[in-house]
Structure 1
Amino acid sequence: MFRPTAKGAAPFGEFRTWYRVTGDLAPHRTALVVAHGGPGSTHDYLLGLAAFAEQGIPVVHYDQIGNGGSSHLPDAPADFWTVDLFLAELDNLLRHLGIADNYVLFGHSWGGLLVAKHASAAPAGLRGLVIADAPASYPLWLEQMAVLRAGLPEGVNETLLRHEAAGTTGSDEYHAATRVFYDRHLCRLDPWPREYQASFFEMYNDPTVYFTMNGPSEFHVIGTLRDWGVTDCVSGITVPTLLISGRHDEATPAAVQPYADLIPDVRWEILEHSSHVPHLEEPDRFRAVMADYLKTVVTGQEGE
């Protein structure tokens, strides 16, 4: 794994946002800023993107407030955790690092919606946008989850539904049934890579953000995000945008389609042997797609 050139914590009001930088954040270099999923996960499972520092592109990872190395607030009320909070945190980090005038954003899953919302305001310093494995709205996500759940082996969805109705989603039986879904549509590698397990366990070590905004599982979204999406604003995105998803992704093509329909300058790559984490499941193909895109938006060269 690539060693960081800097680590730190950006003051964010009375809180702190942990970050790490790989490469040189020189003024003339376009930085790649990586927003993780969840909400409530950590940067760990996306550390492989630090490899793009070898192309002269400094890479910034950070843990969103509430998890990982950033401030934890287990007693914060539900209305504290808002989309606007995380947008403000991203803006604050860009200013703190001095890169607000020259950066590309990569957002995975929830992070994809977050960076799409950020980009829809057409910030002057944004050079490009990558939305990876992200639905365009949570209502659409839930519609597609129902389709995927119906395709699970006999009895699995019935078990999930029974525990969801009873409010016993913390039971071992529910967790075992969720793993059947996750092994199909979240990560198809066996075993899961260490960096992915690290983020997964971090999220459940402090599930405050995830349980509040999402819910008890990927497909039972009953939190504050359940009615939220970005379909009303992504037509305002003005930079070249790359969509990435997996053929077996829980973010199904139907859930991603509005981005392709509404963003003016967009390209979509579906990785055929991946689910929700193509950067781990098909790393070579993922790196090639990303390198081609970055070559275009960072250096102005045409991709091959």
Structure 2
Amino acid sequence: MIKKCSLLLLTLSLSPLFFSCKETSEKQTAQMNPYFQKSNDSIQTGGIQIIPIETPKGTFKVWTKRFGNNPTTKVLLLNGGPGATHEYFECFESFLPAEGIEFIYYDQLGCGNSDNPKDVSLWDLPRYVEEVEQVRKSLNLNKDNFYLLGHSWGGILAMEYTMKYQNNMKGLIISNMMSDAVAYGKYADEVLAKQLDPDVLKELRAIEEKGDFSNPRYMELLMPNFYEKHILRMPAKDWPEPVQRSFGKMNQSLYVTMQGPSEFGISGKLEKWNRQPDLKSITIPTLVIGARYDTMDPKHMEQMAKSVKKGTYLFCPKGSHMDFYDDQEVYFKGLISFLKK
């Protein structure tokens, strides 16, 4: 009994010292790892910030989440689709924090955790450009720290934004997106379609001609013959969970309005979009990322890197449209190198 009491007294006497050491340790950790410092908010929310967005149809809210803290390198991520979510970018957590690179998830209006006004008039490229600018201001991003990474449709949005607001930016990353929708459609017809089995292509074309895109047979043909070869090069059943989760939440109204229902080229609002002649006006450091098996022409994307004033091209030899999954080593090594320059 005496031994137990003595031990209890000893423990109690050391408690203040224990907590003092713990507090000191936490302070030292914060000083040594500023990347993990908490925000100045009275309540910590894991970096989540809900941002009000003014639109022609009123005010809506979009969802963002900051990961890490780096005053000179902040990467805002623009997801593709159009109509997917930030979630397929979750693999970035396995690479960028180790390098101290801050990045910000962001669901565009109509996507994921953000408001969905269900108004097709708001599915409009110039309006999305102004949305990104409002997000930038709310997050205090500026020319000394702000990198914009747009993937697929997000790449179109990133290019458009940069044409208007590059004075607010430090750098641009265009991931897996061509600068000309007409050229994209031509590449899909003349290169990708011809790689399909003729019988498969014939059946796909027949479904498209009828406009029968809800026919389950359409996806049955596309998944093994197109998606698993050019979107993400592995069996669909093995696609990473963040990809499946993101694609499972696709806003079909937004997708069809902007992209069109077909996978072979663009037929929606973006059908005639072309910024290739204007790339020369981009003067900030720009990284263009292409892949051998992408739905986008890698040679076209290489030319894009040459067209901007300070361009760098990153080629992923094993990758497809989602090369940050199927050619991760090359993708992230190149991306991190660009950001650290």
Q: TM-score, normalised by structure 2?
A: 0.80
Distance in 2 between residues matched to 1:260 and 1:289, nearest whole Å: 14
Amino acid aligned to 2:53: F
Matched, 1:34 2:81: no
Matched, 1:133 2:173: no
Distance in 2 between residues matched to 1:258 and 1:210, nearest whole Å: 27
8 Å Cα contact 2:63/2:114 also seen in 1? yes
Matched, 1:6 2:6: no
Matched, 1:252 2:297: yes
Q: Which is greater in Rg?
A: 2
Equivalent residue in structure 1 for 2:110, among 59, 66, 71 = 66
Which string of whole-angstrom CA distances, capped at 9 and with x for unpartnered residues, describes residues 92-127 of structure 1?
111011113430111111111211222223532311
Equivalent residue in structure 2 for 1:143, among 186, 193, 202 = 186
Residue pairs, 1:209-288, within 5 angstroms: 209-288=254-333
Distance in 2 between residues matched to 1:273 and 1:30, nearest whole Å: 28
Residue pairs, 1:64-213, within 5 angstroms: 64-74=108-118, 76-77=119-120, 79-101=121-143, 102-121=145-164, 123-146=166-189, 147-179=191-223, 180-190=225-235, 191-203=238-250, 206-213=251-258
Say which is worse superposed, 88-97 or 152-161, in terms of deviation: 152-161
State the SS of the aligned residue for 1:149. helix
The unaligned stretches of length 5 or more in structure 2 are 1-35, 37-44
Distance in 1 between residues matched to 2:276 and 2:290, nearest whole Å: 18
Distance in 2 between residues matched to 1:255 and 1:159, nearest whole Å: 29
Question: What is the match of residue 97 of structure 2?
Answer: 53
8 Å Cα contact 1:122/1:238 also seen in 2? no
State the SS of the aligned residue for 2:186. helix
8 Å Cα contact 1:5/1:24 also seen in 2? no
More helix, by proportion: 2
The unaligned stretches of length 5 or more in structure 1 are 297-304
Equivalent residue in structure 1 for 2:335, among 266, 290, 301 = 290
Amino acid aligned to 1:241: T
Distance in 2 between residues matched to 1:84 and 1:151, nearest whole Å: 35
Q: TM-score, normalised by structure 1?
A: 0.89
Matched, 1:43 2:86: yes
Counting aligned pairs with the same residue, the percent is: 27
Deviation of 1:233 (Å)? 2.1
Deviation of 1:236 (Å)? 1.0
State the SS of the aligned residue for 2:217. helix
Q: CA RMSD in A?
A: 1.8
Aligned positions, number: 288
Superposed structure 1 runs of 4+ greater than 6 Å apart: none
Which string of whole-angstrom CA distances, capped at 9 and with x for unpartnered residues, describes residues 217-240 of structure 1?
432522111111222322111111
Deviation of 1:283 (Å)? 1.4
Question: What is the match of residue 299 of structure 1?
Answer: none
8 Å Cα contact 2:288/2:302 also seen in 1? no
